Structure 1
Amino acid sequence: MLHTRESTTLPGKCVNTCFIAIVFTVLLPLLQFFHDQFFYQRYLIEAGDIWRLWTGNFVHTNFWHLTLNLAGIWLLVFITPSNDSKLVQLLQIAWLATCVGLGIWFMSPGVIWYVGFSGILYGLFMLGGIRLLFQRDWLMAGFILLGICGKTLWDWQQGGLSPTSALIEAPVLYAAHLYGMSGSLLLGILNLFQQHRKP
């Protein structure tokens, strides 16, 4: 059976997600001024700049890279707004940033440098798709989940060299997307476990 969300619930659901989107729409361009201090650089992390494991997610290669990720944030607002509080959504972003940073560090040792919000963004889309599965909104959940998985597979087949890579002046690091998506799967499993424990 196909379930769809009531359109009347969208304004209320959008409030917190819109707030988060506005915060990052302002924050990410400002953080570009600190690009050199924040980008993920393996050798500098080894030398003690541990914060780069997280902050590399919040700076970008160029204007187009930043613009694409901001567009993705706002697309997320309109197609799968979250009912979670602002604090919970910020904690989810922090968790996904951790998954991406540590994933690259431990699982992709050949990656010397990395920047971009897309690993977190793919994780947020995955989280939204999982949330829609719980709500039995099969159509939109399938659209989101198949879309991000298909895009990740396509980037993998292209070896990270796609039209997007030319625009952002860097290879697309699809591994970062996988780490963000994996972090969302863990959150989804935790959420499912908590639901089953409820009386």
Structure 2
Amino acid sequence: METDSLLAFRRSAITNGEYWRLFTGNLLHTNQWHLLMNLAGLWVLLLLFKPHFKVLSFTFIFSALCLLQGLGLYLFYPGLLGYVGLSGMLHGLFTYGAIRDISTGLKSGYLLLLGVIIKVGYEQIFGASVQVTEMIGARVATEAHLVGVITGILSVGLFSLFANLYPKANN
């Protein structure tokens, strides 16, 4: 059986109890270009926001954003029947990092946050670039990018609450 048929975000399968797909759909890609673009984006984000990520905290944030991404798509976009890709989660990670920059006094965080909000707003009105759509061989799920930004904002609050409740876990 093909990996996609077991792990991709498929609304009907999730509705039938295959809840792991909420998480694992983020880890699959339509082709090698899609995978390479997402891995390059992840690498850039890790370098850009390195001060905010330790191995354990990054693992937790990555996992939480993947799950929140799947839940957001499932709950708020009933017309979305299938999804694969890391880009929604990457938008969440970018948003999380920009807000963490702001909270540590880096003024550039404001520009980063404004930039991702403008980008995602533009996509909601005009759609994704034709070039990216052709490269990945599928429609770009711009709704995933919006869900990513929203879950990135929410995750800052959730992780701050967690850090306050369990200060030793943040070390």
Q: Measure the CA separation in 1 of the matches of 2:134 and 2:105.
A: 38
Report which stretch shifted further, 87-96 or 175-184. Answer: 175-184
1:107 and 1:87, CA in 2 relative to 1: closer, same or farther beyond 3 A? same
Tell me, yes or no, if structure 1 residue 96 matches structure 2 residue 62. Answer: no
Gapped regions of structure 1 (runs ≥ 5): 1-32
- Aligned positions of 1:18-167 closer than 5 A: 34-139=3-108, 141-160=109-128, 162-167=130-135
Deviations 1:64-103 (A, max 9, x none): 1111101101111222214443122111111111111111
Q: Measure the CA separation in 1 of the matches of 2:41 and 2:157.
A: 24
1:192 and 1:54, CA in 2 relative to 1: closer, same or farther beyond 3 A? closer
Q: Measure the CA separation in 2 of the matches of 1:72 and 1:158.
A: 22
Query: Number of residues paired by the alignment?
Result: 165
Secondary structure of 2:50's aligned partner: coil
1:64 and 1:194, CA in 2 relative to 1: closer, same or farther beyond 3 A? closer
Across the aligned residues of Structure 1 and Structure 2, the Cα RMSD in angstroms comes to: 2.3
Contact 2:92 2:150 in 1 (8 A): yes
Greater Cα radius of gyration, structure 1 or 2: 1
Q: Measure the CA separation in 2 of the matches of 1:103 and 1:191.
A: 18
Residue in 2 aligned with 1:20? none
TM-score normalized by the length of structure 2: 0.85
1:133 and 1:111, CA in 2 relative to 1: closer, same or farther beyond 3 A? same
TM-score normalized by the length of structure 1: 0.74
Aligned sequence identity (%): 33
Residue in 2 aligned with 1:12? none
Q: CA deviation at 1:168?
A: 1.0
Secondary structure of 1:116's aligned partner: coil
Deviations 1:99-138 (A, max 9, x none): 1111111100000000001111111111110111011111
Deviations 1:34-57 (A, max 9, x none): 233211111122233221111000
